[in-house]
């Protein structure tokens, strides 16, 4: 019988730990909770958790400090940061530092369940890649492409607009898509906030984070009519949005260059 997936929940507020543990209960996971970064490091050294869900802002050892320490020892560990609205920029930076993803408060139970499920698929892909299986990175990526790793990408166009789309690893993790909800043209979107909502074939909802701040100038509605374009060529014909950026230079500092 295979070992159960081990998940550690870290938050200095015990009710938050209880709430997240309750949301994940019934998934067949082994779940532990702790209330400090120091205790989390101790427990992870003993148990080597598959997924760690940690509050970004904690006294003492912060979520960022915990992330750095865990990823230094175990790159395969999936760390999900829990953040409040004022810390969205820091959450974006945490992905650049190795976090799998983040989830802003407040969130629904099905959102954290979907995110943990995605993290576990990503962990499997990471492990396959590092034992010589097919690489998850074998997708042509144009020069000048930046990303919130495993989530969204951005690329500056000659006319000053920024083209935005979904990261190829996000697509591979999802496997298939049932529907896509785009923002309205003219809507102002901020870096790190949801700009597109995606529903997979299992009915789970996922958020595509805006890689830059800006106004939505154009939406690629052709994707909704033919999703194969998205999967076949996510960095060119499969783009999703065109932004008129507001703070591009600052936003790019928080992103990872991938092309």
73 vs 46: CA distance, rounded Å? 13
Tell me what pLDDT residue 129 has.
75
Average pLDDT of 205-216? Answer: 97
Tell me what pLDDT residue 225 has.
87
Tokens 């995605």 — which residue?
118
Q: Is the pLDDT of residue 174 over 60?
A: yes
CB 70 within 8 A of CB 48: no
Average pLDDT of 18-29? Answer: 96
Q: Using alpha carbons, select from 22, 21, 2, 26 the residue that is nearest to residue 10.
A: 21
Query: pLDDT tens, 92-138?
Result: 999 999 999 999 988 999 999 999 999 999 999 988 876 544 444 56
Tell me what pLDDT residue 110 has.
94
Tell me what pLDDT residue 135 has.
47
Strands of 177-181's sheet in order across: 177-181, 194-200, 205-209
Average pLDDT of 10-20? Answer: 96
Tell me what pLDDT residue 33 has.
98
Average pLDDT of 152-167? Answer: 97
Tell me what pLDDT residue 132 has.
46
Confidence label for 251 from pLDDT (cuts 50, 70 and 90):
very high
**6-129 belongs to which CATH class?**
alpha beta
Average pLDDT of 165-181? Answer: 94
Please report, to the nearest 10 degrees, the dihedral formed by the alpha carbons of residues 103, 109, 112, 115 taken in order: -120
Confidence label for 182 from pLDDT (cuts 50, 70 and 90):
very high
Higher pLDDT, 1 or 142: 142
Delimit the CATH 3.40.50.2300 region(s) of the chain: 6-129
220 vs 119: CA distance, rounded Å? 28
Query: pLDDT tens, 53-96?
Result: 999 999 999 999 999 999 999 999 999 999 987 788 899 999 99
CATH, range 145-257? 2.40.50.100
Provide the pairing of β-strand 145-148 with 152-156.
Answer: antiparallel
Confidence label for 213 from pLDDT (cuts 50, 70 and 90):
very high
Tell me what pLDDT residue 85 has.
73
248 vs 191: CA distance, rounded Å? 10
Strands (E), the chain: 6-10, 30-34, 51-55, 78-83, 101-104, 145-148, 152-156, 162-166, 177-181, 188-189, 194-200, 205-209, 214-219, 241-245, 256-257
Delimit the CATH 2.40.50.100 region(s) of the chain: 145-257
Query: pLDDT tens, 221-240?
Result: 999 889 999 999 999 999 99
211 vs 182: CA distance, rounded Å? 15
Q: Over pLDDT 70: what percentage of the chain?
A: 96
The sign of the CA dihedral 52, 96, 239, 252 is positive
């Amino acid at each position: 019988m295979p070992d159960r997936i081990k998940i550690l929940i870290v938050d200095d507020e015990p009710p938050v730990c209880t709430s997240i543990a309750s949301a994940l209960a019934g998934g067949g996971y082994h779940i532990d909770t702790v209330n400090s970064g120091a205790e989390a490091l101790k427990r992870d050294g003993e148990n080597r958790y598959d997924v760690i869900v940690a509050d970004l802002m904690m006294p003492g050892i912060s979520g960022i400090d915990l992330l750095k320490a865990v990823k230094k020892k175990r790159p395969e560990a999936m760390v999900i940061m829990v953040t409040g609205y004022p810390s969205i920029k820091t959450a974006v930076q945490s992905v650049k530092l190795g976090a799998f993803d983040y989830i802003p408060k407040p969130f629904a139970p099905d959102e954290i369940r979907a995110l943990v499920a995605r993290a576990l698929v990503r962990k499997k892909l990471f492990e396959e890649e590092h034992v010589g299986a097919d690489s998850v990175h074998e997708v042509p990526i144009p020069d000048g492409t930046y990303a919130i790793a495993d989530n969204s990408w951005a690329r500056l166009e000659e006319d000053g607009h920024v083209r935005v789309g979904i990261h190829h690893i996000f697509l591979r993790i999802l496997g298939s898509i049932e529907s896509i909800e785009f923002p309205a043209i003219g809507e102002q979107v901020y870096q790190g906030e949801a700009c597109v909502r995606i529903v997979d074939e299992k009915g789970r909802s996922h958020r595509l984070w805006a890689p830059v701040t800006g106004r939505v100038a154009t939406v690629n509605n052709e994707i909704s009519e033919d999703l194969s374009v998205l999967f076949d060529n996510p960095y060119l014909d499969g783009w999703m949005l065109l932004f008129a950026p507001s703070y591009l230079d600052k936003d790019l500092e928080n992103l990872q260059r991938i092309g």
